[in-house]
Structure 1
Amino acid sequence: MQHTSTPLTITPAIEQAIGYFLTPHRPAKKTWSSSLPPLELQAKASIEWPDGESIPFVCHRLGCGPDVLLVHGWESQATDLWHLADAIAKAGFSVWCPDLPAHGHSSGSMLSIPLATQALHSIAHKIDHFHAVIGHSLGGAVVVNALATGLPATQVIVIAAPTHYGAYARQVAHACSLSDSDTTQMLDRLEEMTGTHPDRIAIPEQAATLNQRCLWLHANDDDVVPVEEGIQAVNAWKHAELHRFDNLGHFHILQDATVCHQLLQALARHS
């Protein structure tokens, strides 16, 4: 996809929409149930970001064994994945669970998928290879984007991830009553700020380039990310399977025993 090089005209309404799109609401920080101190790491960010050239963030660790990366979603934090992290660690794995920038115990006020991807790559600098990468919601889109940009991993498990970043940016633009022309300006400005146009972050297109096996877990009644997005992503993936669940929505899926069991089976199968 080619984009115009015409100078952008960024109105206050466009800037406001970008702010809505990139700024999460921060709930109260929760305590991580592990005696291991979090690692202090940094994710590289464009100088366009208000927070400067790098964003400090923390990464929690739990367990010992093959390395597994576990990534939370938008307006969430590592502790929201404690049920899964604890089960994975008890199954014999070392779990790396970051608070993404602007979330949980980490610094920053804004987050994009490109910035979150940089955070995952900075964790990867600490180890050679992930046995698996797991992401819920936006975290699932982040791990796929990280794999597409070279993150070393054997397998991926995605839980209810949105598949088209540009589509969600357009939803915000529509909610902010931007015109079609202003929406185009907004998307191009996001490319300037983050280094990647939102339309280039699309799981079906990225999945076609990946060789990792994928287990996709999604609830049929998910009212945040429709299950149809998961179906589309899995259909484009070379080695992927979709497991669908009833009555778990977007968040209860993280606490369900059957979901956890299937996730652990996948980890053990490719261990």
Structure 2
Amino acid sequence: MSTTINAVSRVSAGLAGSAAYTLFHMPLARSKMRSSERELFAATHRGRIRVNGKSAVTYLWGSGERPVLLVHGWQSRGSRYADLIPGLLDRGYSVVTFDAPGHGDGTGRSTTILEYRSILTELHDQYGTFEALVAHSLGTLASFYAIKGGVKAERIVALSGVRDFEYLLDEFCAELKLRPVLRGELLTRIGKHLFPGMPADLMPFSVSHATEAITAPVLVVHDEGDSRIGVGQGRGIAEAFGDQARLIITQGLGHRRILGDPEVVRAVLEFVEHGHDAAGRSEAQAEVIPAKD
């Protein structure tokens, strides 16, 4: 695919840029529900949210009171939070999650940060202010974008989170070995279609652009060896929020295992229930959860 796009770019950068932009929003794999997740998800109330002719599938446990929203990342699905959900239910929360278009049981082949924002906004309209919002990977960036747009949460958790949309662009271009001209074409389309009207110095979106609109405490958990989203993105989220943030660096969990690690689950549950003291922690003072043998 990258060879074809690069070859086309030598004839028409615009045509190749359009193809790259389409590919940028298409997950290359659709996650399936694991057997260990099925019993929990058989006991949920399912719904649908229509967005741009596609459907996101929603899941609710509980009455809807004291809602906690769980937002999945790229090529993932809501059921990846199966290790966290029982603890939230035991503490009296209702739990809401979803499969975005192109993910899990959602329809369509693609999605965008704008569609994530639309889904989060509709869920917010249904359930009101979330007592907590927990997001993973790309879901973190999309969640902060939605919060900047009016979605409210009393506590925010970023797991393996993306701070900068431009980081995703650079990783995509590097993975496909796209020519530099295509990066410029992609950035132009991103500005036009995803962030229209955004000032040039604030495009594309970064979590740091949302800090003034957010007063909630933030828990950031990121693995130092994350090969998908570098730990610098997690550190950057914590730095952007200063005294509002607490940073935990894990070891040996990578990008996805962090969701089910017992120590991470415990830290998230404690934060959702009790918050933290909001004491400022420098990069050198970040807490560390070591790898288990």
| Pairwise same-fold verdict (TM > 0.5) | yes
Return the alpha-carbon distance in structure 2 between the equivalents of residues 25 and 174 of structure 1: 16
Structure-2 residue corresponding to 1:61:
60
For residue 157 of structure 2, what is the aligned residue in structure 1?
157
In 2, the alpha carbon distance for the partners of 1:83 and 1:134 equals 13
Give deviations 1:212-248, integer Å, cap 9, x for gaps. 1100111112111121211121111141110111111
Instruction: Answer yes or no: is 1:26 the counterpart of 2:29.
Output: yes
Greater mean deviation of Cα atoms: 54-63 or 153-162? 54-63
For residue 228 of structure 2, give the secondary structure of its aligned residue in structure 1.
coil
Offset of residue 142 of structure 1? 1.4
Contact residue 195 and residue 204 of structure 2 kept, 8 A: no
- Out of 8, 13, 16, the position equivalent to 1:13 is 16
Structure 2: gaps of 5 or more residues: 1-11, 277-293
Amino acid at match of 1:149: G
Partner of 1:231: helix, strand, or coil?
Answer: helix
Structure 2 CA distance, aligned partners of 1:191 and 1:119?
Answer: 21
Which residue of 1 is the match for residue 130 of structure 2?
Answer: 130
> Which ranges of 4 or more aligned residues in structure 1 deviate by more than 6 Å?
none
Residue pairs, 1:1-271, within 5 angstroms: 11-27=14-30, 29-30=32-33, 31=38, 33-43=41-51, 53-64=52-63, 65-196=65-196, 199-238=203-242, 239-270=244-275
Secondary structure in 1 aligned to 2:111? Answer: coil
One-letter code of the match for 2:259?
Answer: L
CA distance in 1, matches of 2:73, 2:31: 15
Deviations 1:154-189 (A, max 9, x none): 110110111111222133234445444432222221
Cα distance change on mapping 1:265 and 1:227 into 2, 3 Å: same
Could you say if the C-alpha distance between residues 176 and 59 of structure 1 is closer, same or farther in structure 2, counting changes exceeding 3 Å?
A: same
2:289 is aligned to none
Q: Quick check: 167-176 or 212-221, which moved more?
A: 167-176
Kept in 2, the 8 Å contact 1:57–1:107? The answer is yes
**Alignment check: 8 A CA contact 1:20 1:172 kept:** no
Change (3 A) 1:230 1:122: same
Counterpart amino acid of residue 258 in structure 2: I
Which SS does the other structure have where 2:154 is aligned? strand
Q: How far apart in 1 are the matches of 2:236 and 2:23?
A: 27
Task: Report how far residue 135 of structure 1 moved.
Answer: 0.3
Q: Structure 1 127/177 Cα, relative in aligned 2: closer, same or farther at 3 Å?
A: same
Give the secondary structure class of the aligned counterpart of 2:106.
coil
The answer (yes or no) to whether the contact 1:70–1:85 under 8 Å persists in 2 is no
Across the two proteins, how many residue pairs are aligned to each other? Answer: 254
TM norm structure 1:
0.85
Residues 10/55 of structure 1: CA separation in 2 closer, same or farther (3 Å cut): farther
Greater shift, 34-43 or 170-179, is seen at 170-179
Q: Decide whether the 8 Å contact of 1:208 with 1:237 is kept in 2.
A: no
SS of the residue 1:108 aligns to: coil
CA root-mean-square deviation:
2.2
Q: Deviations over 1:50-80 (max 9, x none)?
A: xxx3432111112354100001110001111
Instruction: Give, in whole Å, the separation in 2 of the partners of 1:200 and 1:189.
Output: 11
**Runs of 5+ consecutive residues of structure 1 not aligned to the other structure:** 1-8, 44-52
TM-score normalised by length of structure 2: 0.79
